[in-house]
Amino acid sequence: MKGYALSGLLIAALLASSCKQDTVDSPAVVPPSATPLDLSAPWYFPQMDVPANNPTTVEGVQLGRRLYYDPILSTNGPMAGLSCSSCHAQELGFTVPNSPAGFHNVLPHVNLGWSSNFLWDGQVQGTLEDIMRFEVEEFFAVDVDVLQQHPEYPQRFKNALGNATITQDAVGKALAQWFRSMISSNSRFDQYVRYETTLTPSETNGMLLYLTETGDCFHCHGMPLLSDNGFHNIGLDSVFTGNDQGRFLVTGDPADLGAFKAPTLRNIALTGPYMHDGRFATLEEVIEHYNSGVKHSASLDPIMTKPGKETGLNLTPQQKADLVAFLHTFTDPVFLADTALASPF
C-alpha cells in the first residue's frame, strides 16, 4: 500500500483534470435555480463520469434524497408503501439483512456513481440514469400523477431540473444525482491509504493476504472501490438452476453460468448475509467458502483454479482471522452516520 505514495498522488492530481469524461448526450444545463455541486472523492478514486444532461446540483441531490426516503414512489403494486430506504438502511451500509420474497439478496447502495453494471446479474448496464429509469418504470412503477399532485414536489423538480412537469425520466435523474452523492471514502482502510492511521498486525497480515495470491481477493475486489464491476462464477455451485444461473439469464452465454457481479466490500462487515442468495450469514462463512468450499464447473472463473487450490485457498485459522480483521477496516463510520445521507423527513 505504500505504493500509493506522494508521487502517485501528484500524478493522479495532474491527470485528474484530463480524465473527466462527461458524455455528450446534450449540453450541460443547470437550471438558474440550481446550484452546481462538485462531488469530492479522494485522489485514489476514479474520476466519476457524469452525463452532461444531468449535472449534479445541490437541489437535484436533495430532491433525489427525498424521493429515496419517500414511499410516494410506490403507491401501486407489490412495492406499495415501500420506499428505497425500506430495503436500504443507512446504518447497515444501505442494505438490509432480509430481502423481499423472490428477490436476490439486497445489494448495498454505495459508490454506485462509478458503476456501469447494476444488479447481481447486470440486467441493467450503463449509467445511474439507466438503472434509475429501470427502478422508476419497472420496479416501483412510479405514478408521476401522484407526485404531480403533491404540494411540494412540482416546485422541487422545477428548482432542481428546471421543469415542474414531473416525468419518470425526471424522477430517475433526481435519484441518479442522489446516488452519485452516496460516497464512502472514510473507512479505516481509506485513512490508512492516506497515511492518517495505521493497521493492527492482524489487519496488516490480512491486507497482505488480500493483496497477494495467497488470498487473491484483489482480482475481483481491487482498490479503491473494492469491486471490479465485473461478473464472476466463484464456485458456489456446480449445477445451476433458477436465479443461481446468474449472468447467464441475461446473456444466454454458457460461460456466464453462475456468474454474478462482484459486490463492493465497502462496509462488508455490516451488509450480511452474503452472496446473491444470502447463503452465508457471516464473513467467516464466506472466507471458509473460498478456503475449502469452491465447487468446480465449466464456467468457474479461471482465477479460482490455481494449482493445488482447486477447492480453496487452504488458509490457516490465523490467516482466516486476519483476513476477516482486514475486511472490518472497510467499515466507514462517517458514511454510516452522515446526516446528509439520512432521511430528510
Partner 1 sequence: MLRRLLPSAFLLALLASGCKKENIDLPTPLPTSTPLLRISHMVDGQPLSQDTLAYTNEAGTPYSVTRLEYYLSELVLLGTGNTANDTLHGPWYVNADGTMDFGLNRLHTGTYSGATLLLGLPPALNTTGALPNTMANLNMAWPDPMGGGYHFIKFEGHFISAGTSSGYAMHIGTDTFLPHCTLPEAFNITSTGGKLLLTFNLNEVFRTPNTYDLATGNYSMGNMGLMTQLQENCADAFTIAYQP
Residue ranges that bind partner 1, judged by CB under 8 A: 1-5, 7-9, 11-12, 15-20, 22, 24, 27-28, 38, 44-47, 52, 114, 116, 208, 211-213, 218, 222-225, 228-230, 253-255, 298-307
The secondary structure of 72-137, three-state, reads HHCCCCCCCCCCHHHCCEHHHCCECCCCCCCCCCCCCCCCHHHCCEECCCCCEECCHHHHHHHHHH
Closest approach, Cβ 234 to partner 1, in A, equals: 12
Closest approach, Cβ 194 to partner 1, in A, equals: 13
Closest approach, Cβ 28 to partner 1, in A, equals: 4
Which one, 73 or 124, has the nearer CB to partner 1?
124
Closest approach, Cβ 91 to partner 1, in A, equals: 29
The answer to whether the CB of 64 falls within 8 A of the CB of 178 is yes
117-118 and 124-125: which strand pairing? antiparallel
Which one, 128 or 336, has the nearer CB to partner 1?
128
How far apart are alpha carbons 325 and 283 in whole angstroms?
Answer: 10
Which one, 44 or 134, has the nearer CB to partner 1?
44
Closest approach, Cβ 191 to partner 1, in A, equals: 17
89 forms beta bridges with 95
Which one, 52 or 58, has the nearer CB to partner 1?
52
The answer to whether the CB of 181 falls within 8 A of the CB of 56 is yes
Which one, 142 or 226, has the nearer CB to partner 1?
226
Closest approach, Cβ 285 to partner 1, in A, equals: 24
Which one, 7 or 339, has the nearer CB to partner 1?
7
Which one, 168 or 299, has the nearer CB to partner 1?
299
Cis peptide before 224 (omega within 30 of 0): yes
Q: Give the contacts of 53 (CB within 8 A, at least 6 positions apart).
A: 25, 26, 27, 28, 29
Cell numbers standing for residue 244:
443461481
Task: Report long-range pairs for 254-259 (Cβ below 8 Å, ≥24 apart).
Answer: 254/298, 254/299, 255/299, 256/231, 256/299, 257/233, 257/297, 257/298, 257/299, 258/233, 258/297, 258/299, 258/300, 259/231, 259/232, 259/233, 259/299, 259/301
Closest approach, Cβ 85 to partner 1, in A, equals: 28
